[in-house]
Chains A and B, each alone.
Chain A
């Protein structure tokens, strides 16, 4: 397991790169096959990170002062490592000396955090006296087109969530089905809801006007009686009407939820329920836009089925029309897909401009349209959880985690902005991950764009401590002009992330990293030493996912194979045309196996999944850290037996044994697999007999480990406990290298298992790889 293997491969900086030494030229870089990329975790907590209670010094190039700056203590100035400009220290740094350094200059504090005075992001609202912290805002959007039982689960989860929220958190509530109902929680006389038609696209202005939040709607002169209560300085009537502090609205919301029925509009037989997810979200976005523009707010959507009404529709109401599959997407036989995606892109844009987050909790046996909504969730940095039912622990536990405090807390933060500074030879192609380009042009912007690119700054409306982004770099083409002698041996990258933390404070984190340039013409040895196989595998997975989604006619397997062969050809040791002579440096040796598993993974073999699942997997792939993402690609397998401590096992069918328990962690699911014998013993109840306490312990161990994994992870993985030959065993078998299939079953020892597949096994894969890599 990554946790065990490397205690903290990301260190204080939370940065991992595919290459830790960089070739100097673009040509050399392209020969490296694996692109130059960094995976950054912008606000990953680390015990060594210092928080400085002032604003950072910024160079003219806007890079922040950092330990790599050259400081001239006598002249009281510093030289920016990015632009080489000289900057004078301001008067309050006058005490600086070699022995009296400010925090940001301590050499090992390459990452520091500043607390900033609250800066009004949108000066037009909250005139002047902005409260020192904005309470977090949660608007719950609940689907009511469900069976009563499901709705009951969802309501229950909601109630629990509201109870967990901090008292000052503002809460809003929207329910929807055939129509959208915006509940005015602040209306005391009786329950009041605004109802919007589900079939009609509604503009933001209309939403505001119709909710009485537009300026014109409030034009009635005279004292605004009633708006003054609530401590918001009479700021915004929408806040007092639709959003209420959790402490005040908990009761209201409880009773409201108690009375909330499933959608009452009739459904004609043979049809799907009419569900207007799209309008519901856009109305909610409009509501937040009117009430809380520019401050952190989350739309928490609980969706129980596909959108069939109005904009964002993904499937017709007719039940004989199935929800689109990958095959349909491939054939372009998806009448609703493009329109829905366009709609959600618009929604994403709106949310980003307002700085609001869309979280999606989808619980349904059928698809709900995550593939279409993905853009809105990902661009706003929202959370996404897909499960089968609101009663399932995957949803229940995940949902609770979102609102829980303490260790388990996700550390939800808002309004993040990421800026990247880099040495001038370096260009940025873009970012894969939950963020949106701010279109801020600069010299460091590459012509090639991948993902959210064309900028040096990105918006992350929502981010949390595990949020992770992949930055793809490029080098300036043939920019050799700089005087060779003067060449800086180090390259620098600085990531500046400002955000509003869950307490409402504005923070700025500055991470500055340096890496060594290397002249690859001399030798590739150093280069190979700087290769991070795990990161490279994950980056490849992210890139291939991105390409599969965006490039028409992209053949994933071929692209992967070609790149792998190129990599092996370049860095492998072999004699030409002699496969047997092929060896790989240990720094590279695991990579082919990653690629083998990637080829077999859900990211590439999408046809086993629905488009929704694929979108879901990919979103998580993009936002998780390298270790976790690596697990998604290549699950970890631990074997438990009487004779030894738990130990990692080969991800191979051969690891199955009758007297072993296997624990598979494929990120999305955690599988505990009992060998046949173990299962029999357990069924006979040996574990309950005192003399077989060891057996009880053996049975218990994988559960304990599984729970450690589950507790740490968001979304909570599905726990599958199964026995050899049981139906659920497929969760394990699907991930194992099919070294034993029915084709060679007769060669196997008793007690082992086979997989019924025609897929090639790792061995075969390797043979072919070697053969192709050594070809001249």
Chain B
């Protein structure tokens, strides 16, 4: 449940149904034997659910007394997972014994396997007790894996490695070959910079087998500890792998008290380095091993299970009639569905037995093996089967949509996307729909023709691409060609895909130096952040930098080297701006490094006495845009006060809204709309010239995010919001955010289109982009964190049982000036069964859609309506399930589909979220809306249902093994007055200190003996004691997981800050809304009403 690491944790339930990969791994041994058990469990679950908390094995609940919930949930998981996996595991088990693989594995698995091997065997038999123990173990493992995915390999991962290793057995020989072959591609394809590192790291592991492995392992460890973030980042520094040098980010981080930044860096290249070998071997091996034989069977087994488990029903304990009064009391709060932490890294094959494999929960720690469909990280569908008619879909109450995150960070152990270069002819495409060649296009007529899986057209195979078909009807070279066997592949774009030379990497920094910005220290913070980040910019002549400052005028800087000092060029006309120089405002980094440093150093003093309170943000970005117009690039704006003069000047609407409450009631949401069209018009122009704007709002007052955010949203950028800005606590975050912004994998001047097979069409795209023609979206910038939601619409009936394909093509320019087309394919089967739809529903994707749609509606509809919407959706889905799929007829029970059993909880959390809360500040809500618009699936749920962990007893629980302790439910019942809790939502974090905390702990963690002595401007320090160290480790690990430097705010009991903390506990009755239990009752009653 919630107790364990959040990432994996949430889905416990879902995992079960999905037969999460991790489960499979563990079970391996039990395999077949287990499966039956699993079934039994499932059945139990179902029954149990209804009655009470039955589903959860009692044993669990007992072992983890403190966290009763956590206990149970794990239990579920294990059970279900084990069950599910059984199929696959057998091979593993068999293989394991194999000496060869193990050798290779050891290196990888070192940590992981160790524990599991011993323990695992037991699981099958000793489910209850052993389970408990397992749980304990596994949870820890997961934690590590989740957080440090690669690094901790030992604990969590171990299981997988083994299993995988086992699977790979064939690979022993192959493995090496595989890796090698991969290596090359990796190098070329690997995204940003890491490639080198990747390839290098890979070989050693495989070859050296045991000896080498050990060596590496140790190194891994260090990584983990040092730069908590992903192993990736850490790896580079430690290992000193040259390739990564580009990512030195880590080294840069030291400045700050906390190493957090590492998180940022890691994601990129490093991940590969660290774990690559482990995973790869597995993945690599598999394909060769003969996808046909061993695995298929397993696959089949799996599906079967899934359907069965699909539903979990929970009875709120309500009296049948819905005795509302009595009902709640009967509900055992411990029995209601809650997220269950996933304990281990899940191995996920995207397709098994020629069928799409429903993906693991987005928040879990999983490693994908691309066997035809793309990794769910890149593209996820809300339902993993496609309803054959629009009616069927409508009946289900669910929405059909895709969540596309085309540049998502892969797991460090995953095989990087391979780059395919077709030379001058460019990638093979369907001549009618222009779809790109993919594994689902069928070659016929001895390979002379192929049938497009998107439009059905039959094309001639280009002569040089011709290849005969094998006996299985596939091309003989299918397995050697990534475009024919991988769901994701990247094509090298030819001249035809360029209207100009690929643009250089241009970074333009725009800094507010108005009086206010100076006084609150925002300017200094921005300058220092930029100056540190300069080192992280890609080297080479293609990296261009420009800088400007603004208050009521705009100041550019001539950075040409010949000048003794930079020349400041003031553009004073803020109604009709222009760029002051044709060239030299933006210059290659290599030519201006010194000037830039000097300048950044002097800006804070230069404007020290600035008396200008006005801000011409609109004019400033326009001017910067004009300077960048010829190339495009990233415009990073640091803004501290309301845009008050010049182009697009705004008024303090918030105040107007407040004074005019009567009118405000009806029109309140208008404040969440842009004040006028000026900025929108500008933004569209920016997008046209490939300028991507990111805005860092370091402010202490109203800044009208609703208006400003239009610019980043339209240009593929992002809003960062630091409110109220504090030099002390936000400087580090600002730096880390900026650093991640710049160093994360990203692309420029991108165009994206999603194609579907016939019968469904794309209805709408949602996210941060600019749309000029209906079919494509233009992304001046696209990075690994940005997700685009694509809603779909039936326009025809689909043949039942057929395969339905989605293809997302992203044409973009890399940081290094290569033009690429990233193609991700997802092929799902079509079904006419409603129950199948519920079985394969993807809770994360569904909820993310719900969230995004709610956010989109907020500015245009009255809040009451917006709040009703998700609840209605939730009710409709459950109602449909109840009506058409549930076999139980007891009206007194609330029956939830297993896959969606947490939907009510998240729905409740959603309507209590910042954006939908009626008492939220305008800017906070605007920011929330904006944050959500591009939020990725893994971050969606934590945003509304944060993870809370107790941190007052870190030391005592150290033996658990995972860095981040398991989470506890967001309910005040779980808060003790003597405790300290950390609550984080992926963007922000709160530390709550109870009223009667032991002063020793306080002293150790905060260096203060009483709560009052802790400064409210809180900065986490590391003191020389194990508890403090541990806390820092935990925080850093979370930062790494989230790829975000969480700002820590201290909340004290009795303070307004304490209220803030409690307002986050969504399961409580607060914000004038129901508690979780009440909400379940409410939903149940609604369903009952509608049933009748």
Please give the residue numbers on chain A whose beta carbons come within 8 Å of chain B beta carbons, in ascending order.
178-179, 181, 184, 187, 189-197, 200, 202, 206, 209-212, 217-218, 220, 222, 225-226, 255, 259, 264-266
Contacts and interface: CB of A to CB of B under 8 A. Distances in A.
Of A189, A195, A259, chain B has the most CB atoms within 10 Å of the CB of A195
A286 to B, nearest CB: 11
Given A197-B578, A259-B562, A226 B572 contact: no
Interface in B597-641: 599, 602, 605-606, 609, 611-613
A195 B602 contact: no
Interface in B557-590: 562-573, 576, 578, 580-584
Given A193-B570, A197-B573, A212-B553, A179 B578 contact: yes
Given A220-B613, A222-B611, A264-B583, A191 B568 contact: yes
Given A259-B563, A265-B582, A194 B572 contact: yes
Given A193-B580, A259-B567, 19 more contacts: A179-B580, A187-B568, A189-B602, A189-B605, A190-B565, A190-B566, A191-B567, A192-B567, A192-B569, A194-B570, A195-B556, A195-B578, A196-B573, A210-B572, A218-B611, A220-B611, A255-B564, A259-B562, A264-B584
Given A220-B612, A220-B613, A259-B562, A181 B582 contact: no
B432 to A, nearest CB: 43
A196 B572 contact: yes
A192 B568 contact: yes
A255 to B, nearest CB: 7
Nearest to B573: A210
B515 interface: yes
Contacts of B605: 189
A191 B565 contact: yes
Contacts of B566: 190-191
A60 B797 CA distance: 107
Nearest to A221: B611
B601 to A, nearest CB: 11
Contacts, number: 81
B42 to A, nearest CB: 71
25 contacts: A179-B578, A189-B605, A190-B566, A190-B599, A192-B567, A192-B570, A193-B568, A194-B569, A194-B570, A195-B556, A195-B572, A195-B580, A196-B572, A197-B573, A200-B573, A202-B573, A206-B573, A210-B572, A211-B572, A220-B613, A225-B609, A255-B564, A259-B562, A259-B564, A266-B582
A258 to B, nearest CB: 9
A51 B1010 CA distance: 87
Given A197-B576, A197-B578, A259-B562, A190 B583 contact: no
Given A226-B609, A264-B582, A190 B567 contact: yes
Size category, B interface: 20 to 34
Closest 4 pairs between A and B when the two form their complex, measured CB to CB: A210-B572, A220-B611, A195-B580, A192-B568
Contacts of A189: 602, 605-606
Nearest to B570: A194
A148 B665 CA distance: 66
A190 B611 contact: no
A259 B613 CA distance: 33
Nearest to A200: B576
Interface of B: 515, 552-553, 555-556, 562-573, 576, 578, 580-584, 599, 602, 605-606, 609, 611-613
A200 B584 CA distance: 23
A210 to B, nearest CB: 3
A283 B569 CA distance: 16
Given A195-B580, A197-B578, A264-B583, A220 B515 contact: yes
Contacts of B562: 259
B349 to A, nearest CB: 56
B705 to A, nearest CB: 26
Contacts of A193: 567-570, 580
A7 B613 CA distance: 67
B606 to A, nearest CB: 4
A196 B572 CA distance: 7
B602 A190 contact: yes
Contacts of B567: 190-193, 259
- Which residue, of A187, A202, A211, A217, has the highest number of chain B Cβ atoms within 10 A? A217
A179 B576 CA distance: 14
A181 B606 contact: no
Contacts of B582: 178, 264-266
Nearest to A178: B582
Contacts of B599: 190
Nearest to B568: A192
Contacts of A218: 611
Given A190-B565, A210-B553, A212-B553, A264 B573 contact: no
A173 to B, nearest CB: 13
Contacts of B556: 195
Nearest to B577: A197
B569 A195 contact: yes
A196 B568 CA distance: 13
Nearest to A189: B606
B812 to A, nearest CB: 29
Nearest to B581: A264
Contacts of A187: 568
A206 to B, nearest CB: 7
Nearest to B557: A190
B565 A181 contact: no
Contact of B568 (A190, A220, A225, A226): A190
A253 to B, nearest CB: 14
A10 B609 CA distance: 60
Contacts of A181: 569, 580
A480 B915 CA distance: 96
B627 to A, nearest CB: 12
Q: Which of B569, B584, B605 has the most CB of A within 10 A?
A: B569
Contacts of B613: 220
Contacts of B565: 190-191
A402 to B, nearest CB: 29
B646 to A, nearest CB: 11
Contacts of A222: 611
B571 A195 contact: yes
B599 to A, nearest CB: 8
Nearest to A218: B611
B460 to A, nearest CB: 47
A685 to B, nearest CB: 49
A255 B562 CA distance: 12
B197 to A, nearest CB: 40
A713 B626 CA distance: 50
A264 B582 CA distance: 7
B1058 to A, nearest CB: 38
Contacts of B609: 225-226
Contacts of A209: 572
Nearest to B574: A210
Contacts of A211: 572
A306 to B, nearest CB: 21
A209 B573 CA distance: 9
B875 to A, nearest CB: 57
Nearest to A194: B570
Nearest to B607: A189
Contacts of B581: 264
A4 B411 CA distance: 101
B598 to A, nearest CB: 9
Interface centre among A178, A193, A206, A264 (most CB of B within 10 A): A193
Nearest to A224: B611
Nearest to A226: B609
A220 B609 CA distance: 11
Nearest to B575: A206
A439 B584 CA distance: 51
A166 to B, nearest CB: 28
Contacts of B612: 212, 220
Contacts of B606: 189-190
A196 B579 CA distance: 9
Nearest to A211: B572
Nearest to B598: A190
